[in-house]
């Protein structure tokens, strides 16, 4: 589906609008029936037959309104739900094509807000506000026209009162644009803070900063409360002044029409109808003002959705990414997460095909960032990365990642069964292939001890499992995917001795296949047999070579090795 078609209404939506307008016109015809009742009373011609006829007319109008409104309402809900569905499906596909670097904490809050709150608000525009506005504006114009046929001056006064909506809405829309947009931004920030709070609730509680003691969340909620108050303070006075001016039409009409009645230019029954219609029209004008202001506010949601719809996508070529071999070459790479705060500086290293390359260095030196840019989680500022001699800067992240299996120290698991969590690596895999991958990853044993085995739910982000168990499931995924490139990011960090041994055995099984492996390790003894070791310091590759070569250089690596040997003694 094309971008410009995503937000468009559909046949059901237009049917709903038409039905709502017709129902509004029918509701206005009640006033005409009341007019005929007044005439019959004044002329003394009201009898049981006329009463029955008028009552029957009111009943028919009522039944017609019920049928038309019900049909239109159902069509509107179906149409609105279809539009919401197509928006959410489009956004889901769109998010897949947005650069992964965009998914920072703040931006993720924006995306969550757009896909949930903003889509709901836009659906509300389609299913309720648009129809209500079309109905009320049509009904208002119909009744002004009805009054004008009886007394033109009164009709013009009522029309002028309606036209007061124009300046009132101009002021209102200005305030909505100014404060409603800011409110939406703060709402997104609030969502980000709440998501972070819920994700880290265990840590917050452990340090006694849960609930109202969490300053970040309380500050975000206070900001949202404040902007909501300011928003109301700015918009409500505009509506109040419009309402006062609009209601002045009633005494003005009574006075102007009364002069015509006193001179005999206006019939008594016409005068009575004209006197009470401004009451209804003023209420209707207030409703239109509120609905239009609300409509304008809800269209902010539309703009936020459009921002995501038209957000820049990854630049990629249409050519398939199928390298024949899988050596990885980083050429003069610069990278920063935050502008002017470089993490990697002029990094150049060639990672040989089907061999193990280890990356070591101090904490925060940029080791994990190297894996992130190889995986195209982030785009480079400068330099190039080639896999099998093919530059990846124009290749989509998904195509690059199709060649890569990753095992991180932070494992993400879905709230699903063990089997399905492994199957994500290769959806076409059979149950037997999944179980074989788990055996090689050293997790078949603990899985079979669970109440439902492979069908056991792991809980949100695998909270029913230990760190070592989650890590072994991650390795099972990598084994099942069987990609030619394997990236290991401190896979044994933060594990107890028993789990570390189990994970090391699982990694050994993973490394039996000939793959291009890049391993970040915090323990140098693990990587001393690597074909190449790259030493990272302050965002640069300061040394590279084999274990023996680096010891002979007596540089950074040799110092790290000596320090580790002292600690192990």
| Digitized pLDDT (tens) for each residue of the chain, 569 residues in all | 676 778 887 888 889 989 999 988 888 888 888 888 888 888 888 788 888 888 888 899 899 999 998 998 899 888 888 888 888 888 888 887 787 767 764 567 678 778 888 888 888 888 888 888 888 999 999 999 999 999 999 999 999 998 988 888 888 888 888 887 788 778 777 777 777 777 777 666 766 767 766 777 788 888 888 888 887 888 888 888 888 888 888 899 999 999 999 998 988 999 988 988 898 888 889 889 888 888 887 888 888 888 888 888 776 666 778 888 999 999 999 998 877 888 899 999 999 998 889 899 888 888 888 998 898 888 888 899 999 999 888 888 888 888 998 888 778 888 889 999 999 888 899 999 999 888 888 888 889 988 899 999 988 777 788 878 888 888 888 888 988 998 888 766 555 556 566 666 767 776 777 889 898 887 787 788 888 999 999 889 999 999 999 999 998 989 888 888 876 65
Alpha-carbon torsion angle 473, 195, 377, 513, nearest 10: 0
CB contact at 8 A, 231 and 300: no
* Domain formed by 319-403+485-493+515-569, architecture: 3-Layer(aba) Sandwich (3.40)
Architecture of domain 410-482: 3-Layer(aba) Sandwich (3.40)
The 8-class DSSP code of residue 128 comes to I
Closest C-alpha among 249, 58, 25 to residue 140: 25
Q: What DSSP string runs through 318-347?
A: SS----SS--EEEEEEEE-SBTTB-SEEEE
Taking the C-alpha atoms of residue 304 and residue 311, their distance in angstroms, rounded to an integer, is 11
The answer to whether residues 519 and 527 touch, using CB atoms and an 8 Å cutoff, is yes
CB 276 within 8 A of CB 62: no
- What are the sequence ranges of the domains in the chain? 3-309, 319-403+485-493+515-569, 410-482
Q: 319-403+485-493+515-569 and 410-482 share one CATH topology?
A: yes
CATH architecture assignment, domain 3-309:
Up-down Bundle (1.20)
Which pLDDT belongs to residue 503? 65
CA 95 to chain centre: 9
Q: Please name which of 3, 102, 39 lies closest in space to residue 314, comparing C-alpha atoms.
A: 102
Structure pTM?
A: 0.68
pLDDT value, residue 29: 86
CA distance 253 to 261: 12
Starting at the edge strand found earlier in the chain, the sheet holding 328-335 runs 344-351, 328-335, 382-387, 390-391
| Residue 199 to residues 204, 208, 411, Cα–Cα distance (Å) | 10, 16, 14
């Amino acid at each position: 589906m094309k971008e410009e078609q995503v937000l468009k209404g559909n046949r059901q939506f237009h049917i709903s609008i038409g039905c709502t307008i017709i129902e509004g016109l029918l509701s206005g015809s009640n006033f005409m029936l009341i007019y005929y009742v007044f005439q019959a009373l004044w002329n003394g011609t009201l009898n049981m037959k006329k009463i029955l006829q008028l009552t029957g007319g009111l009943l028919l109008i009522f039944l017609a309104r019920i049928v038309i409104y019900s049909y239109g309402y159902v069509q509107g809900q179906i149409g609105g739900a279809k539009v919401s569905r197509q928006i959410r499906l489009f956004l889901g596909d769109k998010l897949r094509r947005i650069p992964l670097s965009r998914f920072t904490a703040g931006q993720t809050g924006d995306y969550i807000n757009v896909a949930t709150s903003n889509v709901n608000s836009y659906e509300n525009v389609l299913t309720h506000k648009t129809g209500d506005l079309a109905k009320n504006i049509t009904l208002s114009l119909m009744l002004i026209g009805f009054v004008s046929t009886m007394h033109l001056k009164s009709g013009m006064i009522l029309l002028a009162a309606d036209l007061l909506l124009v300046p009132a809405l101009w002021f209102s829309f200005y305030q909505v644009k100014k404060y409603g947009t800011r409110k939406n931004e703060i709402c997104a920030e609030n969502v980000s803070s709440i998501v972070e709070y819920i994700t880290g609730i265990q840590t917050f509680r452990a340090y006694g900063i849960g609930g109202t003691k969490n300053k970040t969340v309380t500050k975000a909620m206070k900001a949202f409360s404040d902007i909501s108050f300011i928003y109301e303070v700015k918009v409500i006075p505009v509506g109040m002044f419009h309402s006062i001016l609009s209601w002045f039409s009633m005494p003005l009409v009574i006075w102007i029409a009364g002069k015509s009645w006193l001179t005999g230019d206006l019939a008594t029954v016409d005068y009575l109808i004209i006197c009470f219609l401004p009451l209804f029209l003023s209420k209707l004008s207030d409703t239109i003002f509120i609905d239009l202001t609300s409509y304008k506010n809800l269209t902010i949601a539309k703009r936020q959705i459009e921002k995501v719809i038209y957000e820049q996508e990854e630049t990629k070529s249409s050519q398939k990414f199928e390298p024949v071999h899988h050596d990885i070459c980083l050429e003069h790479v610069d990278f920063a997460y935050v502008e002017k705060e470089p993490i990697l500086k002029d990094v150049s290293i060639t990672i040989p095909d089907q061999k193990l390359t280890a990356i070591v260095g101090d904490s925060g030196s940029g080791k994990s960032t190297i894996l992130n840019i190889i995986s195209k989680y982030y785009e480079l500022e400068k330099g190039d990365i080639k896999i099998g001699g093919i530059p990846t800067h124009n290749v989509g992240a998904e195509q690059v990642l199709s060649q890569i299996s990753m095992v991180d120290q932070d494992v993400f698991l879905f709230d699903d069964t063990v089997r399905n969590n492994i199957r994500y690596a290769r959806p076409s895999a059979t149950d037997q292939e999944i179980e074989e991958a788990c055996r090689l990853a050293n997790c078949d044993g603990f899985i079979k001890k669970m109440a439902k085995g492979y069908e056991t739910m792991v809980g949100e982000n695998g909270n029913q499992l230990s760190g070592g168990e989650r890590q072994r499931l991650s390795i099972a995924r990598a084994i099942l995917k069987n990609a030619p490139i394997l990236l290991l990011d401190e896979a044994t960090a933060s594990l107890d001795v028993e789990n570390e041994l189990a994970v090391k055995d699982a990694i050994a099984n993973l490394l039996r296949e000939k793959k291009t492996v890049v391993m970040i390790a915090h323990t140098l003894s693990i990587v001393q047999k690597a074909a190449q070791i790259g030493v990272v310091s302050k965002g640069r590759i300061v040394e590279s070579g084999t274990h023996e070569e680096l010891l002979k250089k007596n540089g950074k690596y040799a110092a790290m090795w000596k320090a580790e040997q002292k600690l192990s003694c």
